[in-house]
Amino acid sequence: MTELAVLAKYPFLNDTKEYIKSIGLSVEELLSHPLYERARTIGIERLDNALKNTDVGDSCVVTDSDCMMVVLSYPIARMVAVCVGDTYFKKRYALGEAYCAYRNLLDESSLFLLDAAKELGLHAGSIEEKQQIRLYFKDYLRFAPTHYKEWNMTNRTIDRGFVTVSQKDLARIILEVLRKRINDELDARECDPLAIRMFSEDIKRFQNIVSMQKKKMEAAPVGKLSVEKLPPCMKYILAAIQAGENVPHMGRFALVAFLHSLKLSPNEILKLFSTAPDYEEDKTRYQVEHISGKTSSTEYKSPGCDKMRTYGICPQEKIDELCRRVHHPASYYSAKWRQEKEKT
């Protein structure tokens, strides 16, 4: 069994799950027994930190008993996150856990990283003579932030289906695998009624914070753009970018080209992207200026609904009545403005 301090740093590992099982605690004990009060406090801190700092943070861990409390705080935080019942909140929390793991993984040996990668289902191995790591190209394409130039496949060495990556790259890819995994797990879970009772105040507090943050985002004036009137596809892509998700290149491209067609300047587009937790101004500016024709010879057109559907970035479950009457996201946006004018 891995030592407790390691489990406290990486509570998503199978060994941690085994450890929690081996203690034989019931959910009721975990959520209400005075012995686990400290674990409950750390669980709430994890969520607060994820919202504020995009990193659940490391609690002070000195003794084995501290480590145990940190390990137990993980399932508690997850239960509360599910009960907050908000997609954006769950995404922020999942990113906070994944980012914390990433930060810690940067200090680990390549052997540890490879073990963690394999446990998370990645096909990775080492190239010993070069002290490099190789990752199966399908895993790379699925999880690497290829919207950034240095991650683009054209800038990577590929040999017999494996892409060469550094230790830091692998840690970044693990971040993305974890973020997705934790988010999917939270989405699949039901809220435990006891968790609602025990954490009702914190749950309400988190719901209020999220609702205020959303209002702030929607109300933030960016040129003449009204975020409320955006079509479901663009709202969806923008929300994913702002929540720090690894949005595929086509999604980013469609959003930037769309915003450019509404006459937003590159700076205004950057302002919208800047709330993303892993926002990097230089790299994002490069993409935005390229798509909007400022630094390239082509001014790209924003794709219509048919193309959006072909690329799988028209969210079928979110389309509304107006979507059925338009053929282009820009027409949706203008129709929304017209509807509002007619009302006044």
Site residues for ligand SF4 per CB under 6 A? 231-233, 305, 308, 314, 319, 323, 326, 329, 332
Please state the closest distance from residue 338 (CB atom) to ligand SF4, in A.
Answer: 15
Name which of 83 and 240 has its Cβ closer to ligand SF4. Answer: 240
Please state the closest distance from residue 232 (CB atom) to ligand SF4, in A.
Answer: 4
* Residue 225, SS3 per DSSP: strand
CA distance 243 to 21: 32
Here the tokens at position 158 are 């590929």
Please state the closest distance from residue 341 (CB atom) to ligand SF4, in A.
Answer: 20
Name which of 225 and 308 has its Cβ closer to ligand SF4. Answer: 308
Please state the closest distance from residue 167 (CB atom) to ligand SF4, in A.
Answer: 40
Please state the closest distance from residue 288 (CB atom) to ligand SF4, in A.
Answer: 20
CA atoms within 13 A on the CB side of 240: 19
**How big is the chain, counted in residues?**
344
Please state the closest distance from residue 217 (CB atom) to ligand SF4, in A.
Answer: 19
Residue type, 108: E
Name which of 222 and 326 has its Cβ closer to ligand SF4. Answer: 326
Q: Give the contacts of 247 (CB within 8 A, at least 6 positions apart).
A: 147, 237, 240, 241
Helices 266-273 and 281-291: crossing angle in degrees, nearest 10, is 140
Helices 266-273 and 232-242: crossing angle in degrees, nearest 10, is 60
Name which of 149 and 327 has its Cβ closer to ligand SF4. Answer: 327
Q: Enumerate the β-bridge partners of residue 225.
A: 222
Name which of 151 and 236 has its Cβ closer to ligand SF4. Answer: 236
Name which of 13 and 313 has its Cβ closer to ligand SF4. Answer: 313
Please state the closest distance from residue 305 (CB atom) to ligand SF4, in A.
Answer: 3
Name which of 145 and 329 has its Cβ closer to ligand SF4. Answer: 329
Please state the closest distance from residue 310 (CB atom) to ligand SF4, in A.
Answer: 10
Please state the closest distance from residue 309 (CB atom) to ligand SF4, in A.
Answer: 7
Which of 31, 49, 58, 143 has the alpha carbon at shortest distance from 93?
Answer: 49
CA distance 160 to 202: 51
Secondary structure (DSSP) of 123-178: -EEEEGGGTEEEEEHHHHHHHS-TTSGGGSGGGS-EETTEEEE-HHHHHHHHHHHH
Name which of 214 and 235 has its Cβ closer to ligand SF4. Answer: 235
CA distance 323 to 309: 12
The two beta strands, 124-127 and 162-165, are: unpaired
Name which of 173 and 262 has its Cβ closer to ligand SF4. Answer: 262
Q: Enumerate the β-bridge partners of residue 135.
A: 124, 163
